[in-house]
Amino acid sequence: MVMSEKAGAKELSPIDVYMLLPKTNCKKCGLENCMAYATKLVNREIALELCTPLLEKQYEKAHQKLWEMLKPPVKEVTVGTGDPAIKVGGKLVMYRHELAYFNPTAFAIDVTDEMPDEELTLRVKGTEGYSYTYIGRELKLNMIAIRSTSNDPEKFKATVKKVVENTKLPLILCSFHPEVVEAGLMAAPKARPLIYAANRDNWKDMAELALMYNCPLAVFAPNDLKLLRSLVKTLLEYGVEDLVLDPGTFPNEGLADTVSNLTMIRRAAFKRGDELLGFPIIGTPITAWLEKADVPEINMWNEAYLASMLIDRYVDVLIMHSNEGWVLLPTTILRQNIYTDPRKPVAVEAGLKVFGQPDENSPMMMTTNFALTYYTVASDIESSGVNCYLIVVDTEGLAVDSSVAGRKLTAEKIAETIKQVKAEEKVKHRKLIIPGKAARLSGEIQELSGWEVLVGPRDSSEIPKFLQEKWQ
């Protein structure tokens, strides 16, 4: 691939950053020295503000340079104020494996200014109350998108007022009519909602509103990236700095355009250093409702998969209509998956796991706490219906072979874990079955723990067969 003209986040080296720091090792940032701080800065694990000496006059230039160097190619934009305010964008890389994606895609659920009061309140409360616990984390929805279907400023104003009375969630005010948006802003003057949207015709009035109310502004140019760039350029000149891009979400024939446009926007921002396209993107899976299907389930279904594809392809904010659990569950879990930090392997809790109803003669097995390793082993044991114990050793989320190689799975660690989980109180025998891929630790484990080691299969699918042949 032709190399980029502007280095992305992953090409940044700690040395480049270190050279601009005061190099006094003053420890004010909480770290031992400036090099350690530089490394953390490059990995985006620490804030630049922690280096307070940079505020001194002599470092002014260096500070500015560092800021330029570390700022994300996709700008971070804040919607809302106070505690439930949400940050969107702030992306440092095009592909998640290059570093990690920050600021998970924000989900907005729509209400309209022609919705009966009861329905509106129900939708707002439902959005606020949505919660699913996944891997110990609470999945939530983030915003309310208020659409004007009446195009009547007074109605819109009243609706915004009602929404604000019912929730603190950040808002998106949706109308292409500036006078409608203005009426809405008057009902929430300090709320810093996202204004949706400026287009070819209304951009000047929308820009004025964004400046007057200090709001971020979405820019709408369906399938026209030239217009999108032109509008961004114009709005920046106008003084509006917090922009969000909408190249259009086409649910049907235009899906190829949608995917292509999203990709071009991010490619341009990361590989071409295109600052006019270096803004968060808003997608609208709600357009899956433009064509009425025979039953609403079809629209919901289409919206669910459309939202998923947008999450996969870089979109930072979504406006959705469906608030059904079966639509939101897969999409919010997908968001969690895509925004999981790939630098930190997901690990399960270490400890002793019980399968079925083991007794004092049941097998005692062992594996690592890498989530996928654990789940594979667990499901193989479960499907075979074996009653047994499984010791899960903390290998910092590494699989068996890599943790043996990387010395994260050692005889010492295993012996220690056997004690910690009080394995000797669970069974009468002293036989430990270890993974086939940890075979070379067997002598040492035996020595340190006093347990006899049986080397199990290399793949957990062989566990039932192994037990059949080797256990008693």
Partner 1 sequence: MGEREEEEKKALLKFSPELFEILSKMQEVELEDVDLDVGDLEIWLQPSAVARAPKTVSPKAVTVPKKVKPSTIIEVDFVPPVETYSGRIVEVQLGATNSEGGTRGKSVIVGGERSPAYYLFENPTPHPPVITLDVFDMKVPLAKAVKMHVEEAVGDPVAWAKLAVDKFGAEMITLHLVSIDPLLNDTPPKEAALTVEKVLQAVDVPIVVGGCGDPQKDLAVFEKVAAVAEGERVLLSSITLDMDIEKSAMLAKKHGHVALAFTSMDLNHARELNRKLYEFLPREQILMDTTTAALGYGLDYAFTVMERARLAGLMGDPELQHPLSSGTTNAWAAREAWMKMAPEWGPRELRGPIWETVTALTLMLAGVDVFMMMHPAAVKTVRDVSKKLTTSISRSSPEQLNDWVSMKI
Shortest CB 365 distance to partner 1, Å = 16
Nearer to partner 1, 262 or 445 (CB): 262
Nearer to partner 1, 396 or 444 (CB): 396
Site for partner 1 in 53-72 (CB under 8 A): 54-55, 60, 63-64, 67, 70-72
Tokens standing for 82?
């106070």
Residue 462, Cβ neighbours under 10 Å: how many? 14
Q: Cα angle at 395 between 392 and 396, to 5 degrees?
A: 120
Classified as helix, coil or strand, 144 is strand
Residue 175 near residue 157 (C-beta atoms within 8 A)? no
Site for partner 1 in 36-55 (CB under 8 A): 44-49, 54-55
Classified as helix, coil or strand, 355 is strand
Question: At which residue do the structure tokens 């083991």 appear?
Answer: 358
Alpha helices in 21-88 (DSSP H): 34-42, 60-70
Q: In this chain, which stretch among 13-21, 133-141, 426-434, 442-450 interacts with partner 1, using CB under 8 A?
A: 133-141
Shortest CA distance to 258 belongs to which of 220, 308, 313? 313
Site for partner 1 in 236-255 (CB under 8 A): 237-239, 248-250, 252-255
Site for partner 1 in 264-283 (CB under 8 A): 264, 267-268, 271-272, 274, 276
Site for partner 1 in 160-179 (CB under 8 A): 174-176
Residue 160 near residue 173 (C-beta atoms within 8 A)? yes
Query: At a CB cut-off of 8 Å and minimum separation 6, what does 155 contact?
Result: 113, 114, 148
Site string for partner 1, 294-333 (x = CB under 8 A): xx-xx--x--xx--xx--xx-------x--xxxx-xxx-x
**What distance in Å separates the CA atoms of residue 99 and residue 70, rounded to the nearest whole number?**
13
Site for partner 1 in 183-212 (CB under 8 A): 196, 200, 203-204, 207
Query: At a CB cut-off of 8 Å and minimum separation 6, what does 161 contact?
Result: 187, 188
**Residue from the set 339, 424, 439, 454 that interacts with partner 1 by CB under 8 A:** 339
How far is Cα of residue 72 from the mean position of the Cα atoms in its chain? 16
Task: Examine residue 104 and tell whether it contacts partner 1 (CB under 8 A).
Answer: yes
Strands 351-355 and 388-393, bridge-based pairing: antiparallel
Shortest CB 447 distance to partner 1, Å = 29
Tokens standing for 86?
């949400």
Nearer to partner 1, 128 or 274 (CB): 274
**Residue from the set 168, 430, 431, 458 that interacts with partner 1 by CB under 8 A:** 458
Nearer to partner 1, 32 or 60 (CB): 60
**Residue from the set 157, 229, 408, 437 that interacts with partner 1 by CB under 8 A:** 229
Shortest CA distance to 369 belongs to which of 391, 389, 384? 391
Shortest CB 229 distance to partner 1, Å = 5
Number of residues that bind partner 1 (CB under 8 A): 134
Nearer to partner 1, 13 or 64 (CB): 64
Tokens standing for 332?
């919010």
**Residue from the set 14, 53, 358, 464 that interacts with partner 1 by CB under 8 A:** 464
**Residue from the set 260, 387, 420, 446 that interacts with partner 1 by CB under 8 A:** 260
Classified as helix, coil or strand, 139 is strand
Nearer to partner 1, 191 or 348 (CB): 348
Query: Would you give the DSSP letter of residue 445?
Result: H
Q: Cα angle at 392 between 386 and 397, to 5 degrees?
A: 130
Site for partner 1 in 353-392 (CB under 8 A): 353, 371-372, 374-375, 378-379, 382-383
Q: In this chain, which stretch among 163-171, 216-224, 406-414, 416-424 interacts with partner 1, using CB under 8 A?
A: 216-224
Task: Examine residue 81 and tell whether it contacts partner 1 (CB under 8 A).
Answer: no
